[in-house]
Amino acid sequence: MKMAAGTQPGNSLSVSADAGNNGRDGDDGHKRPGGTPVVAVAPAGNGSIAHSSHKTALFSGNEAIGLAAWHAGADMAVGYPGTPSTDVLEYIAEITPEPDIYVEWSTNEKVAMDVAMGASLAGKRVIVTTKHVGLNVAMDSLMTSPFIGVNGGVVVFNADDPGMHSSQNEQDNRYIARFAGIPLLEPSDSQEAYDFTRVGFGLSEQWDTPVILRTTTRISHALSKVIPAPAEQHRSGEFRRDPRKYVMLPANARPRHVAHLERLSKMEKWAEEVPFNREELRSRSIGVVTSGVSYQYVRDVLPDASVFKLGLTFPLPRESLTSFASKVDRLFVVEELEPYLEEALRLLGVPVEGKEFFPRYGELSPHLVRVGFQAAGILEPSGETAGETIGGVAGPSLDSVGPRFPLLCSGCSHATPFFVLRELDAVVTGDIGCYTLGATDPLSAMDTCLSMGSSVGMAVGLAKAGSTGGRPVVAVLGDSTFLHAGIPPLIDAVHREANLTVIILDNGTTAMTGGQPNPANAVDIRGRSVPKVDIPAICKAIGVASLAVVDPYDVGATRRAIENAISKEGVSVVVTVRACAESPEKIRGPVYYVDVDGCDGCQLCMNLGCPALVWDLSLDVMPKRVRIDASLCSGCTVCAQICPQGAIFASSSQSVTASTAGAGASVSSNQGERQ
Ligand code: SF4
Ligand code: SF4
């Protein structure tokens, strides 16, 4: 039985008094790369923008959030790159003129949160962007932010990564919102991503607290229609002293905690009335409570089921949920990751089914939702199965497309340090970045990877424990990660006189997330010239006595620098400096080739893991010979330096002299001419 659309409460969302659908359907958007029309905007002077032209178009959730922040009159957008959240800030920088909104890749997420709170107290609207584990870094400030409150609205955009497409864990950050007592909005398509972002700023100001906007990967990256609303002007405001509210001394924090709890109590009543939650009554035999992308899957798989769709998932509308439960015969919760909603319903004493049919890990999909409802006896079995089974519950297949091991890019400047470390049999604590691929075959030169900056701290622990069987302890992390979270543990290492080596792989960018600038770069997200932080100078200032800077394309120099560093007592640092071969632009030198008559098939070059080095299957000889895929070779020269037979040559006239067997060859290549 289907309910008439007009009887569904809260079916449309009004983001502000003048922000309905009026004026949303103009037809004068300009084209962005790829041809999808976007909203056209025009500077209006005086630091404001007249968003007079709006066009319905396809937007990813992240684009919709960026557009909405601008249309909401945000003065500032700050964050730290992390998939799947990164492109919100990049999109804002792409579509907005510089005077209108300040955009910053902050040093880390906590810095971003603090910058946002400062700007908010000065009366400005700010969006903070982070991936799920990034919010852990911001937690110290986030937890106290509702005590201090806001002046201008603060929207904390958090993108969870179910399935861990590019993350080290799969945490469900709805619990962080509940833990911090911060309102949580969860869009289920790009239109809601746009609307919820815009309304989030107003809610933040209304309730005097930051608001968290949570997406998961599919909402962030899938495209769907967005009808933009008329833009708001920038908020006027200024900082006014209010130490009892802004200075969290215990004497001030105690009454602020009480105020925080009183606000939560009021918000729980408010949650019953907000338009973000809606009851969609259809067949009374099945009811489903859901939110986010799971709502789309449920509508796809069970179009006749009644649904309670949540857009505000903290605080929850307990009375409305209980009422909905009483209207259906059998109640399910469909949600990605943890049983967050399911637990809340059980606490209300509502009989509910959920995680016994739907997996607690990985991404959901229409297929998995269908399989779950088949297992629950709601749908006829179709013979469809999912991949893995944990506790009898079908889950996403972990290897449905077969194993394809990721590799460092051809010409990656990180290959040589790991190649050397493997030969030196070091205990290597790794970190978060594309260089984590140093853990995979054939380099296999990383023993741990925990979280941002943890390489150095773990190395301190290993060195102090002193039980590595005589193997040297080496921490490896990138430039952006060092600045993000590697400095405090380096201070610890020096101050505690730990015996270890730190290798900072400085490739001039935050490569893993697409090449964002970091404080060690001389440009910012808008390409403006900015002061550059000097990483070796930081190390010296901390008190590192042994410091070397080396070009990782010079295999011999890199080997000598690492060996020398390891031989020193105390903390030694090697900074390898060479631009990423792929980002922000591809760097290519003359292509290299293998002289089949010189190659004896020793396989040493294959240990680099360069994708351009492949087995030559056209030759009927054993051991197999190697050839270079010219379409992949970036001309880095490294394989030519390590070939003991001197069998690898540049395709142009310059030569590479393998003066010694293995690593340590001398080079006379055209490194300086790389484009
Ligand atoms: S290192 Fe040289 S000799 Fe050994 S397989 Fe590679 S190209 Fe052939
Ligand atoms: S020169 Fe050798 S190591 Fe460098 S990209 Fe080409 S094949 Fe790979």
Q: 3-state SS string over 88-118?
A: HHHHHHHHCCCCCCEEEECCCHHHHHHHHHH
Q: Which ligand is nearest to the CA of 658?
A: 1
DSSP state of 513: G
Q: Does the Cβ of 665 fall within 6 Å of ligand 1?
A: no
pLDDT of 388: 65
Q: Which ligand is nearest to the CA of 629?
A: 2
Tell which residue, 611, 616, 564, has the closest CA to residue 594: 616
pLDDT of 40: 34
The helix (H) or strand (E) run that includes residue 449 is none
Expressed in angstroms, the distance from the first to the final Cα of the chain is 66
Query: How many angstroms separate the CA atoms of 3 and 129, rounded?
Result: 38
Alpha carbon of 639 to ligand 2 centroid (Å) = 6
**For ligand 2, atom 2: residue with the closest CA:** 639
Pick the atom of ligand 2 nearest to 635's CA: 1
pLDDT of 390: 66
Q: Does the Cβ of 593 fall within 6 Å of ligand 1?
A: no
Q: Let me know: does 95 contact 67? Beta carbons within 8 Å.
A: yes
> Both tokens of residue 47?
């630091």
Pick the atom of ligand 2 nearest to 610's CA: 8
Alpha carbon of 648 to ligand 1 centroid (Å) = 8
> Both tokens of residue 534?
């000097």
Ligand 2 binding pocket, CB closer than 6 Å: 410-411, 592, 608, 610, 612-613, 628, 633-639
pLDDT of 514: 84
Classified as helix, coil or strand, 420 is: helix
Pick the atom of ligand 1 nearest to 594's CA: 7
Alpha carbon of 472 to ligand 1 centroid (Å) = 29
Alpha carbon of 586 to ligand 1 centroid (Å) = 26
Residue from 636, 641, 656 whose mutation best tests the ligand 2 pocket (most atoms within 8 A of CB):
636
- Beta-bridge mates of residue 334: 290
pLDDT of 393: 76
Classified as helix, coil or strand, 342 is: helix
List, in order, residues 6 or more apart from 592 with CB less than 8 Å away.
628, 633, 635, 637, 639, 640, 648, 649, 650, 651
Q: Domain 60-224+237-270: what homologous superfamily? A: Thiamin diphosphate (ThDP)-binding fold, Pyr/PP domains (3.40.50.970)
Q: Which ligand is nearest to the CA of 651?
A: 2
pLDDT of 401: 59
Q: Does the Cβ of 181 fall within 6 Å of ligand 1?
A: no
**For ligand 1, atom 2: residue with the closest CA:** 643
Which residue ranges make up each domain of the chain? 60-224+237-270, 278-394, 415-577, 588-675
Tell which residue, 327, 328, 342, 326, has the closest CA to residue 291: 342
**What is the dotted CATH code of the domain comprising 278-394?**
3.40.50.920
Q: Sign of dihedral through CA atoms 329, 330, 336, 337? A: positive
Within its chain, how far is the Cα of 129 from the centroid? 9
Q: Does the Cβ of 604 fall within 6 Å of ligand 1?
A: yes
Q: Does the Cβ of 397 fall within 6 Å of ligand 1?
A: no
Query: How many angstroms separate the CA atoms of 9 and 273, rounded?
Result: 10
Hey, what CATH topology would domain 415-577 get?
Rossmann fold (3.40.50)
Alpha carbon of 409 to ligand 2 centroid (Å) = 10
Residue stretches of the chain with pLDDT short of 70? 1-53, 383-391, 397-404, 652-675
Q: Which ligand is nearest to the CA of 615?
A: 1
> Both tokens of residue 626?
């190697």
pLDDT of 397: 66
> Both tokens of residue 22?
């009026």
Q: Let me know: does 535 contact 548? Beta carbons within 8 Å.
A: no
Q: Does the Cβ of 603 fall within 6 Å of ligand 1?
A: yes
Query: How many angstroms separate the CA atoms of 606 and 603, rounded?
Result: 5
Burial label for 382, CB within 10 Å (0-12, 13-18, 19+), is: exposed
Pick the atom of ligand 1 nearest to 606's CA: 6
**What is the dotted CATH code of the domain comprising 588-675?**
3.30.70.20
H helices of 122-270, where? Answer: 132-148, 174-180, 190-207, 217-221, 243-246, 250-270
Phi, psi of 224 (to 5 degrees): -150, 170
Query: How many angstroms separate the CA atoms of 211 and 277, rounded?
Result: 16
Tell which residue, 455, 459, 417, has the closest CA to residue 576: 417
Pick the atom of ligand 2 nearest to 611's CA: 8
H helices of 288-443, where? Answer: 292-301, 318-326, 340-347, 366-375, 415-424
Note whether 415-577 and 588-675 share their fold: no
Q: Does the Cβ of 663 fall within 6 Å of ligand 1?
A: no
